[in-house]
Amino acid sequence: RKEVEQDPGPFNVPEGATVAFNCTYSNSASQSFFWYRQDCRKEPKLLMSVYSSGNEDGRFTAQLNRASQYISLLIRDSKLSDSATYLCVVKGGATNKLIFGTGTLLAVQP
Amino acid sequence: EAQVTQNPRYLITVTGKKLTVTCSQNMNHEYMSWYRQDPGLGLRQIYYSMNVEVTDKGDVPEGYKVSRKEKRNFPLILESPSPNQTSLYFCASSRLAGGVVAETQYFGPGTRLLVL
């Protein structure tokens, strides 16, 4: 089983739609959680951290369920510019290592 | 401008010909890391460094070497490249806070390597 699993997609949605991505992680000792965004052929960039109480940044909402070892990202009012691959990232336990999921591809259609 | 730079950005080489990919950051970060990204496998860590002269293996270190003689530079060395090392390579850096890697890793623009 992969340490971090994501649905690879692609998710094809119209502009203005709400879309949600899910991610599961296997190491219950994981301590920090993030969503990174990666545009085609570019480097990953931090989108947002994920906190236990859930957190929001504009149109983006991230949630964490430690009991189910599950992270989610909700994007409201999708824009064309949201088209990218979204990487679920977990840092954990006794190491400083970031574990990356393989990413979920989002394509927002006009 | 705070950034991580990598060179070269694109490289085609042949099996067995030693090569070095350079990585440099101007943010005075202690932590630096190399990843490779392959379709369906995501980003996998090759090597990382917590500070000058301190390096350690990641998940896929075979066939690679690194060095950290200066804080800002973290070159990746392929002594004898093979076709299975064809990949997209990213260097990243981050500060340490209390010995723990900070939340944000800053990535370089990537190096596309093709080994024939």
pLDDT digits (tens, 9 = 90+) for A43-58: 999 999 998 888 999 9
For B63, list phi and psi in degrees, rounded to 5: 90, 0
A6 to chain B nearest CA, in Å? 11
pLDDT at A95 over 90: no
Is B73:B6 a contact under the CB 8 Å cutoff? no
Quick one: which of A110, A74, A107 has its CA closest to A8?
Answer: A107
pLDDT digits (tens, 9 = 90+) for A69-78: 999 999 999 9
Cα B105–chain centre separation:
13
Residue of B nearest to A49 (CA): B103
B interface with A, Cβ–Cβ < 8 A, is: 31, 35, 40-45, 48, 50, 58, 90, 100-101, 103-105, 107-110
Residues of B in contact with A102 (CB under 8 A): 40-42
Low-confidence ranges of chain B (pLDDT < 70): none
Most A CBs within 10 A among B5, B54, B105, hence the mutation to make, goes to: B105
| Distance of alpha carbon A106 from alpha carbon B19, whole angstroms | 35
B21: distance to nearest CA of chain A, Å? 16
Give the tens place of pLDDT for each residue, A20-36.
Answer: 999 999 988 888 899 99
